[in-house]
Amino acid sequence: MTDSSASVAGTILIVDDDSSARRALRVTLVGMGFTTVEAARGEEALSLVRATWFDAVLLDVDMPGMGGIEACRAIRHSVPRLPVLMWTVLDSEDDKVMAFDAGADDYITKPFHIRELTARLRSAVRRRSAQDTNNDTPIRYAGLELDPVKYMVMKHGQPIHLTPKEFEVLHYLMTHAGQPIPHARLLKSVWGPHYGEELEYLRTFVRQLRNKIEDDPHHPKYLLTHAYIGYRFNGQEHGSACMQASPTSAI
């Protein structure tokens, strides 16, 4: 396994069945300081991530054989904390939800601006590097425990499987328990400084988190919505505190 420190910007796996698209990306990203490796199919990408260190994967959605969504699920299962950025011409909210459900960290629509792409890749690489230097202590509230070092979430002693982005969103909200976190602040803190308007990201990940950690996702007790503002993690014992925030069940 190679060491990602060999490249200042990071090592990116480009996965696309279109050789001209891969070539154009390779030239651009190498010029921006990245090291790149290419794969033409999802099956090839899966073999590569199992054998080689990558800082992020740039994965096309529409490919023959193992498509991008299936490949994303397989990569997430094999290398749980590897950032996966989907890129595609499909830009509906349903397409994005499908990608996020598969474990994608980000979603980039073609055509895109190179500066935006490289900024998002750099944010992913920084998050990948930060994972190994996180020494925070576990956070516990009302039966829910999050351990940043072990990358584990437990509810009443039972493990809950979260994708890396779900984990990061929950970690940030639990770290600031009791505080309403504005949408833009949460996006910038979890995804990076170039984000702030991607509200569908938050809607999708909060919905996914509620389905996993709440007893009743339609009447959440942990993840509360503050209409037109953002989200708050309820750090108090469940009961009267939840009754004080009547609009919290809405996404």
Q: List every span in the chain annotated with CATH 1.10.10.10.
A: 139-249
Tell me: pLDDT of 5 over 80.
Answer: no
Q: Can you say whether the dihedral through the CA atoms of 166, 172, 175, 177 is positive or negative?
A: negative
User: pLDDT per residue over 67-99, tens digit each?
Assistant: 999 999 999 988 888 999 998 887 788 888 889
Q: Which two tokens stand for residue 170?
A: 């929950």
Q: Is 42 exposed, middle or buried (0-12, 13-18, 19+ CB in 10 A)?
A: buried
Which position has the higher pLDDT, 133 or 204? Answer: 204
Q: List every span in the chain annotated with CATH 3.40.50.2300.
A: 4-132
The CATH code of the domain at 4-132 is 3.40.50.2300
Three-state secondary structure call for residue 220: coil
Reported as half-sphere exposure (CB side, CA atoms, 13 A), residue 208 has a value of 25
User: pLDDT per residue over 107-160, tens digit each?
Assistant: 988 877 888 888 889 888 887 776 655 557 889 998 899 998 888 999 999 999
CATH topology of domain 139-249: Arc Repressor Mutant, subunit A (1.10.10)
